[in-house]
Amino acid sequence: MDLKIVLLGPPGCGKGTQAERLVAEKGFVKISTGDLLREAVRLGTPLGVQAKGFMEAGKLVPDELVIGLMKEKLAAIKGPVLLDGFPRSLEQARQLEALTKVDLAIDIEVNEDNLVKRVTLRRSCKGCGAVYHLEFNPPKTAGKCDKCGGELYQRTDDTEATVRERLKTYKEKTLPLTKYYQDKKILRSVDGEGEISVVFDRIVKVLEKK
């Protein structure tokens, strides 16, 4: 069966990091709305122009824009899918349900102080989107991606002030989704503290039970 998995959790909890490993080791295809939107901003597409201000302010990009993007991507994929950063509002969750069946929603839990530490020292690859951390997961060569040799940069929304704003947005708009998926009996919470590989093993255990 081709699983469709939603990765839930606050900014910096490790959605992108874990998705990267699940793609490399478990054969998933991932769709990351954050990565797609950043690419659109970089290219200056109409979507990017509309999304930029919301992203820099730590707010959600309007549902209709993100849902349009997701529809297009989902239709093009066959096989097991990981959704990283979508849905993020009840409206998005309802629209997703109309498109396809979600098998599991995995909520990665991390305390707030650690989230801020993770995000403010994150570095991301311009080439392939891989994620590093200056202290917890540094690249082998400073400033360079281990995987593709691309240049590492700091996301414009990775300042402490914007992270606090993103956390506020998360609590208002995205946290209600845990109850939404709990009511559907497909929510699994995973402790996101500890080493990246330890968290990965916890997620794999959840997947094996499915």
Amino acid (1-letter code) at residue 118: R
Residue nearest to ligand AP5 (CB): 34
Q: Cα(169)–Cα(178) distance, rounded to whole angstroms?
A: 15
Beta bridge partners of 79: none
**Residue with smaller CB distance to Mg ion, 16 or 192:** 16
Nearer Cβ to ligand AP5, position 11 or 80? 11
Residues 30, 123, 166, 202: which is the catalytic one?
A: 166
* Cα 146 off chain centre by: 20
Give the distance between the most distant pair of CA atoms in the chain: 46
Is the Cβ–Cβ distance between 93 and 186 less than 8 Å? Answer: no
Count of alpha carbons within 13 Å of 133, Cβ hemisphere only? 17
The two structure tokens encoding residue 183:
């009511």
| 129 counts as binding ligand AP5 under rule CB under 6 A | no
CA distances from 199 to 4, 21, 107, 133, 171 (A): 20, 11, 12, 16, 22
Provide, rounded to whole angstroms, the least separation between the CB of residue 183 and ligand AP5. Answer: 20
Active-site residue, 118 included: no
Query: Minimum CB separation from Mg ion for residue 75, in Å?
Result: 23
For 137, the 3-state DSSP assignment is strand
Among 4, 15, 118, 173, the active-site one is 15
Binding track over 56-95 against ligand AP5, x by CB under 6 A: --xxxx----x------------------xx-x---x---
Q: Where along the sequence are the contacts to Zn ion (CB under 5 A)? A: 125, 127-128, 130, 145, 147-148, 150
Binding site for ligand AP5 (CB under 6 A): 9, 11-17, 33-34, 37, 54-55, 58-61, 66, 85-86, 88, 92, 118-119, 122, 131-133, 136-137, 166, 195-196, 199
Binding residues for Mg ion, rule: CB under 5 A, are 16
